[in-house]
Amino acid sequence: MVIKKSIFAYAAIITVLLLISIYSLNFYLDSVREDAVVNRMEGILDEYQEIQALSLMTEVFGGNITCLSLSNTLSYMDKNLWETGIKIDKYREATEQFVRDPFYLEQKIKFNRNEIIYLSMLKKMKEQCSINQTVISYFYKKKEDCRDCDAQAFVLSDLNKEIDSEMAMFSFDSDLGLASISTLSLFYNISSFPCIVVEDDAYCGLKNKNQIVDIICSYRNHSICSG
């Protein structure tokens, strides 16, 4: 044989080194992912503090100027929240085949908890500043327990791209075991999943885009209603 046997050993070493490189790259990306999520969450928490400050100012200084600043902050928050939720889910999906990282579950819990705080503040602001904003809350469970939840999330993501600043969309994962989400579910009388709550009224079962638009437009006239 012309081939030296050492070739097989060298090839095995190179292959193992390549495998280690791929895993190392993935671990590096994992840390970058976690930093990206933490930074987004910190950004959201900063905005909450800003909203809380503005809310307090409304009570102390009156609503004329502060309500305008508040509605601008709210419209930025609405988009940011939904996108952050999507990112957390995407990063979780990208990593969970290899490592069931508890980090993303913790972040999801934190995120959902913050959404509830934000939702509560938003309701208060609407009263204080008479803001005409339609609030949509989406309650879901994991795929195994809710066959239509993926489809509903797809429809809402599509809708989210078209909604104007007069609509705010929230998503709540009912599998997280959070008392706040369970309480909210009880408050809205949610009987099955997926379930969309529009202005305190629950609409459970899979809804297509047209149906959701019709529901939203029955409360208020928005830009999507003209289509």
Partner 1 sequence: MNIIYTILVHIVWFLSTYFVIVFMLALFSNRKKLYYSPKFEKDDELPKVSLIVPAYNEEASIADCISSLKRMDYPKNLYEVIIVNDGSKDKTAEIAKKYASDNIVLIDNSGNKGKARSLNHGISLAKGDYIACMDADTIVPKNILRKTLPYFKDKDIGSVTVSVKVRFADNFLQKIVRLEYILGLSLFLKIFSLFNCVHVTPGPFSVYRKSMLDDIGCFDPKNITEDLEIAYRIHKSGHKIANCMSTAVHTITPHDLKGLYRQRRRWYSGALLTLWQHRDILKSNKTGLFGYFIPFNYALIASGLGLFLFSSYLLLSNMLRNLSYYSLTNYNFFSNMTFDFDLLAISMFLFFGLSGIIGTVLLVSYGLGVVRKSPKRRPSLYLGYFLLFFIYQAFWLASFLVVFMRRKVKW
Contact stretch for partner 1 (CB under 8 A) within 20-28, 63-71, 133-141, 178-186:
20-28
Q: Which of 41, 109, 131, 151 binds partner 1 (CB under 8 A)?
A: 151
Q: Which of 14, 20, 38, 65 binds partner 1 (CB under 8 A)?
A: 14
Q: Give the DSSP H or E segment for 82.
A: helix 63-96
Backbone angles phi, psi at 226, to 5 degrees: -75, -20
Q: Dihedral, CA atoms, 197, 136, 113, 90, nearest 10 degrees?
A: 110
- The Cα–Cα gap between 23 and 29 comes to 10
Using DSSP's 3-state secondary structure scheme, residue 140 falls into strand
Minimum CB separation of residue 15 from partner 1 in Å reads 5
49 counts as binding partner 1 under rule CB under 8 A: no
29 counts as binding partner 1 under rule CB under 8 A: yes
- The Cα–Cα gap between 163 and 176 comes to 28
161 counts as binding partner 1 under rule CB under 8 A: yes
- Of the pair 79, 113, the CB lying nearest partner 1 is at 79
- The Cα–Cα gap between 88 and 187 comes to 27
3 counts as binding partner 1 under rule CB under 8 A: yes
Q: Which of 53, 204, 206, 215 binds partner 1 (CB under 8 A)?
A: 206
- Contact at 8 Å (CB) between 26 and 98? yes
- Of the pair 8, 187, the CB lying nearest partner 1 is at 8
Please state the separation of Cα 6 from the chain's center in Å. 54
For residue 78, the tally of other CB atoms under 10 A from its CB is 24
Question: Could you list the residues that contact partner 1 (CB under 8 A)?
Answer: 1-4, 7-8, 10-12, 14-15, 18-19, 22-23, 25-26, 29, 32-33, 36, 87, 90-91, 93-98, 150-151, 154-155, 157-159, 161-162, 206, 208-210
